[in-house]
Amino acid sequence: MKVRWLILCTAGAVVLAAWAAVVITYAFFHPTIATWTIVVTIAALSTEGFLWVAAGVLGFSFLARRKATLMRLKQRFFGGSRRQAE
């Protein structure tokens, strides 16, 4: 598995853990409004971070694939390594 996908999976695991903490806090600890605000804000920020990481991973994958395609087209139309005539 490529490193960028591992980074994305790790970010996803952090988001799941943050929202699990929200559920656990709500269900078992009956938090005050201040505590509840802090816990939900942390979970929301981790979700936003995950979305930025996902955009970066998918964008990087798209650009890498596009660069490879453009290099193949360039080689096809303009030639690759030309052999010297003997």
Give the pLDDT confidence score for residue 80 in this predicted structure. 64
Structure tokens at 60: 């990087």
CB 54 within 8 Å of CB 8: yes
Cα–Cα distance between 70 and 68 in angstroms, integer?
A: 6
Q: Where along the chain do its domains lie?
A: 3-76
Does residue 9 sit in helix, strand or coil? Answer: helix
pLDDT digits (tens, 9 = 90+) for 3-28: 888 999 999 999 999 999 999 999 99
Residues 6+ apart with CB under 8 A from 53: 7, 8, 11
Structure tokens at 51: 């979305």
Does residue 31 sit in helix, strand or coil? Answer: coil
Give the pLDDT confidence score for residue 81 in this predicted structure. 58
Confidence of residue 37 (pLDDT cuts 50, 70, 90): very high
pLDDT digits (tens, 9 = 90+) for 40-61: 999 999 999 999 999 988 888 7
Asked whether the predicted pLDDT for residue 84 surpasses 60, the reply is: no
